[in-house]
Amino acid sequence: MALALCAAASPASARGLADEVNPFIGTLPGAADFGTGGGAGNTFPGATTPFGMVAFSPDTHPRLDGLTSYHYGDSRLKGFSLTHFSGAGCFVYGDVPLLPITARLSRSPVTSFDGIDPNLLPAFGHRRERARPGAYSVTLDPGTPRAIAAELTATARTGAARFTFARGARRALLVNTGGSINQNTAVRIAIDPRRRELSGMVESRGFCVQPTSHRVYFSARFDHPLSGHGTWAGDRLERGSRRVAVSGGGGAYVEFGGRGRRVEARVGISFVSVAGARANLAEARGRSFAALRSGARRTWDRALGRVSVGGGRGRDRAIFASSLYRALLEPSVFSDRDGRYLGMDGRVHRARGFTKYADISGWDVYRGQTQLMAMLFPRRAADVATSMLADARESGCLPRWPYANQQTNVMVGDPAAPMLASTLALGAARFDTRAALRALLRGADRPCHTANGDYTEREALAEYLKLGYVPHELDVDVIEHTFGARDRPWGSTATTLEYAIADFAISRLALARGDRGTARRLTRRAGTWRRLVNPGSRTIQPRLASGAFMPGFTPAAGDSYVEGSGAQYSWLVPHDPAGLFASMGGRAAARARLDRFFEELNGGPESEHAFMSNEPNLGVPWLYDWLGRPDRTQDVVRRTLLDLYGPGPAGMPGNDDGGTMSAWWVFGALGLYPAVPGTDVLALGSPLFPRVTVRLPRGTLRILAPRAAPGRPYVRSLRLGGGAWKRPWLRYRQLARGGELRFALGGRPSSWGSGAGLAPPSFGP
């Protein structure tokens, strides 16, 4: 027996980017697994809203290829859980999975090795599966008497599910509160048949093998009376039980009475309390499932409608639309409707005048996603900045990679600095920049540790301030860094370069506030990366505290680096390319070296060539604009866009990291990129589409390239407004009020933008 799915109808208006989105992109590996989070995007296809707290999405069985809960190659479903992070390189969330079933339980549905008993897990296939922005649907066990059509949608803080059971089938729902993607350490459930409610709390531990933990509270309401219910803890099933509270895993089931084959569930979540989850359900109150789904779609239409694309190939429009969609999934709303949220001090606070956000993949997003958010959604970007300042007040330190109310030691550097400075530079100014500068200097000038010692904002800061670099002998591996080496970094050379970027970003924010003394001091400090340049090899290399360079260095070595090699990190000085080229022996030597570097686009983290499926190399193709060869930027960016990405499930070459890689694709297709963190400098490439309209908060930007095509990446001329523009860069402030960029493109390199004195600015000491 097959059940038809009620798919979300497309709006009657003209086809927009939301119609082009494929949420399945990234759910299969698109490249080799280089050990940096898998070869897939680690994305999820389920229902959510832009930056939503709820991400209501399927989790599959049996494989976890990469680090995500949904794998397009799987054939069985473990449930639909309410929380997901898009593109993380580590397991997190997947809380409160719901699974509709028709079987009658005679024992606990949980096995010791994989959560729900595999015999209960329904089969599914992609012919009867559909995902669109704000909606997901699938038929479980199609063609059998057990068939169930499942449909999901969401608001910011609630999920809505509609399950249509086969005629005459038993209607039941498992709520596997012990089934989070990481280990559950506590579960509480209460069933109230009178209110048709199942509520509770789950606590899940671990993120990137760290001993962090978070709690999610939920309230699920049903439109049918409960004809039966029960709970389980471990392998013990108690029919009729209304409560369970255990340390570890557990769950509940409900059976539905009443008439009809269709059962609806509304689930509110909160990181504060069950009462908060119930209050958040007001977002869905009084609206039908169809109305909720239409509302989610309208929300996405408005968000994605900030950009429209004309012309070009269908596959490229699909990648563009899907990339913009994924770039708007994180960070996620963390405060309840009344503004309450759980702070990093373990206390409940109230966000007044802003929305609290969490799940900020700092090391990644400062390289593009932050800037895209600031340009398109400055109010949200400013709220993210305010959220980070709240984290600093509550924990003592600015965050590096926060999720829920947890500080983490994930990755390296001090990315709060380029995030805050870039947010301001790209026009999102509605946050306390005075408090931001104060917090940034606190972490940059003296060691900052959280009260419990679990988090250090800048490892080896004392050595960095004394020597101008982090000495190699302090290096630890990622496990040591995560678990207890709080003052020792993972990757001394990578950490030094990240600190230099952070110091430069602080200098820009100080300058914007009129603090020229601090700006000069931090700009000078941002130049100490030069102390890692070996004058013999003219290469950035690991250095010991004695001043000696580490012997045996090879460009392909990953020792002293983070998810990359010496060759790849040798370009990570985005604030001072001119100084970097001088250290390499001049512009000609740097050009030749960069040409060799891009003989391969995705060599992995232990290669002498580029690794364009990971963050440290995202800015490198744009360096040709500083070298008088913008045509090479245009070529490398275009090849990366078209060769490494695609429109299907295997369309991403690595994890998306909160939309970072997707934001880079969007910028690359527009033909511009925020190449200098902390500033509004936009390096120019070439647009992929003939017509793009970007609706900025203060005006409309039109990017026109009538002859744009995949094989025509080269800029022959450019006009900004009514005048010729010869420089391969501009500032965002020149576009913020709208305007027009008109490119003339061709299939062969030209000399446009290559003249003396046309390079973008470098900010040396």
Rounded to the nearest 10°, the torsion over CA 567, 571, 573, 575 is: -170
In a domain? residue 422? yes
Residue 485, pLDDT score: 65
What CA–CA distance (Å, rounded) separates 305 from 311?
A: 16
Q: What percent of the chain has pLDDT over 70?
A: 96
CB 456 within 8 A of CB 409: yes
Is the pLDDT at 228 greater than 70? The verdict is yes
Whether residues 613 and 473 fall in one domain: yes
Q: What are the tens digits of pLDDT across the range 541-572? A: 999 999 999 999 999 998 899 999 999 999 99
Whether residues 240 and 326 fall in one domain: no
What CA–CA distance (Å, rounded) separates 232 from 550?
A: 57
Whether residues 124 and 65 fall in one domain: yes
In a domain? residue 299? no
What CA–CA distance (Å, rounded) separates 307 from 444?
A: 37
Whether residues 393 and 534 fall in one domain: yes
With tokens 């190939």, the residue in question is 313
Residue 638, pLDDT score: 98
What CA–CA distance (Å, rounded) separates 280 from 284?
A: 8
Confidence band, pLDDT 50/70/90 cuts, at residue 721 = very high
Whether residues 199 and 251 fall in one domain: yes
Name which of 764, 707, 701 is nearest 737 in CA terms: 701
Residues 6+ apart with CB under 8 A from 456: 397, 409, 447, 448, 449, 450, 486, 487
Residue 89, pLDDT score: 82
In a domain? residue 764? no
For β-strands 739-746 and 699-704, DSSP reports them as parallel
The side-by-side arrangement of strands in the sheet containing 714-720 is 307-310, 691-696, 699-704, 739-746, 714-720, 723-724
CB 161 within 8 A of CB 76: no
CB 660 within 8 A of CB 369: yes
Phi/psi for 198 (5° steps) reads -125, 120
pLDDT, mean of residues 271-276? 98
Is the pLDDT at 479 greater than 90? The verdict is no
What CA–CA distance (Å, rounded) separates 149 from 3?
A: 6
Grouping H, G, I as helix, E, B as strand and the rest as coil, residue 157 is coil
Whether residues 43 and 154 fall in one domain: yes
Residue 2, pLDDT score: 38
Which helix H or strand E contains 79, and what residues bound it? strand 76-81
Judged by average pLDDT, the poorest of 185-199, 441-455, 598-612 is: 441-455
CB 161 within 8 A of CB 98: yes
What CA–CA distance (Å, rounded) separates 109 from 123?
A: 17
Rounded to the nearest 10°, the torsion over CA 593, 595, 596, 598 is: 120
pLDDT, mean of residues 693-713? 98
Name which of 433, 428, 443, 417 is nearest 575 in CA terms: 417
Confidence band, pLDDT 50/70/90 cuts, at residue 483 = low
Which helix H or strand E contains 110, and what residues bound it? strand 110-111
Whether residues 189 and 338 fall in one domain: no
Q: What percent of the chain has pLDDT over 90?
A: 87
Residue 484, pLDDT score: 62
CB 606 within 8 A of CB 36: no
In a domain? residue 87? yes
Q: Identify the CATH number of the domain in which residue 58 sits.
A: 2.70.98.10
Taking each helix axis from N to C end, the angle separating 369-376 and 314-327, rounded to the nearest 10 degrees, works out to 90
Out of 267, 291, 321, a domain closes at 267
In a domain? residue 273? no
Whether residues 402 and 316 fall in one domain: yes
Buried b (16+ CB within 10 A) or exposed e, 658-688: bbbbbbbbbbbbbbbbbbbbbbbbbbbbbbb
What CA–CA distance (Å, rounded) separates 143 from 140?
A: 9
Whether residues 254 and 325 fall in one domain: no
Kindly state the tokens that stand for 456. 């250090």
Of residues 96 and 115, more confidently modeled: 96
Please give the tally of structural domains in the chain: 2
CB 80 within 8 A of CB 48: no
What CA–CA distance (Å, rounded) separates 489 from 477?
A: 8
Whether residues 402 and 481 fall in one domain: yes
Q: What are the tens digits of pLDDT across the range 35-56? A: 888 899 999 999 999 999 999 9
In a domain? residue 230? yes
Judged by average pLDDT, the poorest of 60-69, 168-177, 394-403 is: 60-69
Handedness of CA 105, 111, 115, 117 (dihedral sign): negative
CB 206 within 8 A of CB 171: no
Confidence band, pLDDT 50/70/90 cuts, at residue 433 = very high
- Rounded to the nearest integer, the mean pLDDT of the chain is 94
Residue 746, pLDDT score: 98
Tell me which amino acid residue 27 is.
T
What CA–CA distance (Å, rounded) separates 217 from 223?
A: 20
Confidence band, pLDDT 50/70/90 cuts, at residue 234 = confident
Is the pLDDT at 1 greater than 70? The verdict is no
Q: What are the tens digits of pLDDT across the range 407-432? A: 988 899 999 999 999 999 999 999 99
Residue 208, pLDDT score: 81
Is the pLDDT at 196 greater than 70? The verdict is yes
Confidence band, pLDDT 50/70/90 cuts, at residue 476 = confident
Is the pLDDT at 639 greater than 90? The verdict is yes
Confidence band, pLDDT 50/70/90 cuts, at residue 480 = confident
- What range does the domain containing 116 cover? 17-267
Q: Identify the CATH number of the domain in which residue 699 sits.
A: 3.30.2080.10
Residue 235, pLDDT score: 84
Residue 115, pLDDT score: 75
Whether residues 400 and 491 fall in one domain: yes
Residues 6+ apart with CB under 8 A from 536: none
Confidence band, pLDDT 50/70/90 cuts, at residue 182 = confident
Is the pLDDT at 7 greater than 90? The verdict is no
pLDDT, mean of residues 699-719? 98
In a domain? residue 537? yes
Q: How open is the CA angle 415-420-423, to the nearest 5 degrees?
A: 120
Out of 267, 299, 328, a domain closes at 267
Residue 63, pLDDT score: 67
In a domain? residue 485? yes
What CA–CA distance (Å, rounded) separates 655 from 642?
A: 17
Residues 6+ apart with CB under 8 A from 396: 448, 449, 450, 451
Whether residues 453 and 391 fall in one domain: yes
Which helix H or strand E contains 81, and what residues bound it? strand 76-81
Q: What are the tens digits of pLDDT across the range 339-371? A: 999 999 999 999 999 999 999 999 999 999 999
pLDDT, mean of residues 450-454? 80
Confidence band, pLDDT 50/70/90 cuts, at residue 6 = very low
